[in-house]
Amino acid sequence: MNKLHKFKRCANTRWLVLPGLALLMACAGPSQEIQLPGAAQSAATPVAGSEPAAANTAGQAASFSTQSANYVATPFDKLPGWKTDNLVESWPAFLGSCSVLSARGGEWQRVCDHARTVGLTNNDSVRAFFENEFAPYQVRDDGSKADGVVTGYFEPEINGSRQYRAPFVYPVYGAPEDMLVLDVRKVSKATASSTVAAKVEGRNVLIQTGLNTRTMNAPGIYLLDLSRLAFDSPDRKVRLRIDGKRLLPYYTREEIETRGAPNAKVLAFVQDAMELYEMQVQGAGRIKLTDGATIHLSYAEQNGHPFRPAVAQAGGKKPAVKMRGGLVELDADAQEDDEDDATPTRTRGFKLVAPPPGGRVAVPGRRADSRITGSGIKDPSYVFFRENPPTGAGPMGAMNLPLSAGRSIAVDPRSTPLGFPVFVSTRDPSDGKPMRRLTIAQDTGGAIRGAVRADYFFGSGPKAANQARRMKASGQMWVLLPRGLKVAAGGALAKTRGAGTSRELSQCLVETEDQCVDDQ
């Protein structure tokens, strides 16, 4: 749903999360062998410091590494719960991914052509298909730790109205027409802290060089102080606006709520600022109108400011979310009390602090009110939505495909490519029993960052909301790669943060996958 979740790139809007567990992993020294629990050990299994033992294709490489993750070949019979999962439930989501991935040709075209001949209701046929066409690889963090964090998200449904009338006083905005975008990958390090000239083409901001004093004042040329910009957005883009002859960062949440957003279409009005904020964090939602109709919303844009949630801290415990510059670090060990898990402030594995009651926001087209102070939500980030026609399916994810409840997950594309099958082993939030399912990576999120990081989409409605709000558990992941697919160079597992090592590793698991490139 790309969201703040898409904001996560983020963000549908969707947020950035980096599990703190990676920092706790003790790494083997240069002369020690790395033991691989759960993986078959053989003479072909590489150890730290060894040369590549197999070709860099899925099904042949025993292990390989990228800048953000390690991958270890694992037989299907070693996947916990593989034989008992009802794989038919994942089939519609997988075929949806095929509608996108088959266009890449090669292995994906072969796999998807075969998939279209498999009987939908035959679990044995579906299992045989995956076992024949795919090779599982366990995803491990850059310290080779297999355990990560699994959270959940859902599609909220809140009450609202097409017209402004009490109690529906909080506007839900579409993407602003005056928002401009600068691709930070085109900003050189030499100019990153200086003021430059720029021009606007459509919605894109282009930095200009070689201008003199006279041409700097030419029509269509603006001054841009790069030192005021944050360059750590997940999608590597900065959102800007025109202010006279200057380009400035786009408005913060507080500015949008206190001055309004006259260049953005109002899609609806809702009665609760916190419910709207939760919908922004989730990256999609439904608004139930007073006449019984429903508006379906998905992530459209984000204002470019970092996700800075006010996080609840109960009983003197440390918060589950820590801020690190542009990152939100989710601590899997910071388990929270369950007594408040059914409240709407619990989302994506952490609890948000509710704003003080009585906040007032500006409404486009209405007279300014001196009592307007904003909603009281301090997070500067803000998500804009787009309205989708009702289809009867789930909300749209990052692949522009409808999400499947219980079978679609959001991932960090730097370590898990979008569209690929991923087997996830974690625990059910309802009863704590093992929850082991084949899922399809079809979404991203700003809070979904880290190698072993998954966010289950539980669906819509109260039951899905309750499950998603309670979901935060350790888990393991295996990405299923089409056999013969070229992957990052096979060889020894790497501590990818080690001195000099990361420069020699690929950014992407699949070298042709450009969505994983972060350019940081």
Q: In sequence order, what E strands does 90-236 have?
A: 134-140, 148-155, 157-161, 170-173, 180-183, 195-201, 204-208, 221-225
Per-residue pLDDT tens digits for 397-420: 888 899 999 999 999 888 899 999
| Beta carbons within 8 Å of 43's beta carbon, 6+ residues apart | none
For the chain, what percent of residues have pLDDT higher than 70?
74
- pLDDT band of residue 514 (cuts 50, 70, 90) is low
If asked whether residues 144 and 189 sit together in one domain, one would say: no
| Beta carbons within 8 Å of 402's beta carbon, 6+ residues apart | 96, 391, 393, 394, 395, 396
Residue 43 pLDDT greater than 60, yes or no:
no
Q: Residue 445: inside a domain, yes or no?
A: yes
If asked whether residues 142 and 202 sit together in one domain, one would say: no
Residue 183 pLDDT greater than 70, yes or no:
yes
- What per-residue confidence (pLDDT) applies to 185? 80
If asked whether residues 512 and 427 sit together in one domain, one would say: yes
If asked whether residues 53 and 140 sit together in one domain, one would say: yes
Residue with the bigger pLDDT between 311 and 183: it is: 183
- What per-residue confidence (pLDDT) applies to 109? 95
Judge whether 140 and 452 are in contact, CB under 8 Å.
Answer: yes
Q: b/e map of 480-512 (b: 16 or more CB within 10 Å)?
A: bbbbbbbbbbbbbbbbbeeeeebeebbbbbbbe
Which span out of 54-63, 266-275, 389-398 was modeled with the highest average pLDDT? 266-275
Q: Residue 99: inside a domain, yes or no?
A: yes
If asked whether residues 457 and 496 sit together in one domain, one would say: yes
Residue with the bigger pLDDT between 148 and 394: it is: 148
Q: Residue 202: inside a domain, yes or no?
A: yes
Least confident of 220-229, 381-390, 488-497: 488-497
Residue 353 pLDDT greater than 90, yes or no:
no
If asked whether residues 434 and 490 sit together in one domain, one would say: yes
Question: At 432, which CATH number?
Answer: 2.40.40.10
Least confident of 319-328, 462-471, 479-488: 319-328
DSSP 218: S
Residue 446 pLDDT greater than 80, yes or no:
no
Q: Residue 345: inside a domain, yes or no?
A: no
The secondary element (H helix, E strand) that includes residue 298 is strand 294-302
Q: Residue 372: inside a domain, yes or no?
A: no
Residue with the bigger pLDDT between 349 and 418: it is: 418
Per-residue pLDDT tens digits for 131-181: 999 999 999 987 789 999 999 989 989 999 999 999 999 999 999 999 999
If asked whether residues 145 and 215 sit together in one domain, one would say: no
Least confident of 160-169, 259-268, 354-363: 354-363
User: Tokens at residue 283, please?
Assistant: 């990256």
If asked whether residues 449 and 509 sit together in one domain, one would say: yes
- pLDDT band of residue 358 (cuts 50, 70, 90) is confident
If asked whether residues 146 and 189 sit together in one domain, one would say: no
Domain stops at, among 230, 249, 268? 249
- What per-residue confidence (pLDDT) applies to 53? 41
The residue type found at 425 is S
Residue with the bigger pLDDT between 64 and 344: it is: 64
- What per-residue confidence (pLDDT) applies to 519? 42
Residue 326 pLDDT greater than 70, yes or no:
no
Residue 394 pLDDT greater than 70, yes or no:
yes
Q: Residue 346: inside a domain, yes or no?
A: no
Residue 371 pLDDT greater than 70, yes or no:
yes
Give me the mean pLDDT over the 10-29 stretch.
Answer: 33
If asked whether residues 131 and 226 sit together in one domain, one would say: no
Domain stops at, among 201, 229, 249? 249
User: Tokens at residue 489, please?
Assistant: 């160079």
Q: How many domains does the chain have?
A: 2
The parent domain of residue 481 ranges over 46-151+404-516
Residue with tokens 């880290």: 450
- What per-residue confidence (pLDDT) applies to 339? 38
- What per-residue confidence (pLDDT) applies to 390? 80
Residue 63 pLDDT greater than 80, yes or no:
yes
Least confident of 19-33, 49-63, 125-139: 19-33
Q: Residue 192: inside a domain, yes or no?
A: yes
Omega within 30 of 0 (cis) for the link into 167: yes
If asked whether residues 440 and 512 sit together in one domain, one would say: yes
Give me the mean pLDDT over the 193-201 stretch.
Answer: 89
Judge whether 447 and 11 are in contact, CB under 8 Å.
Answer: yes
Residue 311 pLDDT greater than 70, yes or no:
no
Mean pLDDT over the full length of the chain: 79
- What per-residue confidence (pLDDT) applies to 473? 92
Q: b/e map of 45-61 (b: 16 or more CB within 10 Å)?
A: bbbbeeeebbebbbbbb
Residue 42 pLDDT greater than 60, yes or no:
no
If asked whether residues 127 and 73 sit together in one domain, one would say: yes
Q: Residue 350: inside a domain, yes or no?
A: no
- pLDDT band of residue 266 (cuts 50, 70, 90) is very high
- What per-residue confidence (pLDDT) applies to 439? 98
Q: Which is nearest to 45 in space by CA: 515, 401, 490? A: 490
Residue with the bigger pLDDT between 108 and 5: it is: 108
Residue 41 pLDDT greater than 70, yes or no:
no
Residue 338 pLDDT greater than 80, yes or no:
no
Phi, psi of 468 (to 5 degrees): -65, -40
Per-residue pLDDT tens digits for 121-143: 789 999 999 999 999 999 998 77
Judge whether 238 and 230 are in contact, CB under 8 Å.
Answer: yes
Residue with the bigger pLDDT between 136 and 353: it is: 136
Calpha distance 330→505 (Å, rounded): 26
Least confident of 109-113, 155-159, 451-455, 515-519: 515-519
Q: b/e map of 212-250 (b: 16 or more CB within 10 Å)?
A: eeeeeeeeeebebebeebebebbbbbbbbbeeeeebbbb
Calpha distance 85→127 (Å, rounded): 9
| Greatest alpha-carbon span in the chain | 76
- What per-residue confidence (pLDDT) applies to 373? 85
Domain stops at, among 220, 249, 278? 249
Per-residue pLDDT tens digits for 198-246: 999 999 999 987 766 566 777 889 999 998 887 766 677 899 999 999 9
Cα–Cα–Cα angle for 116, 119, 123, rounded to 5 degrees: 125
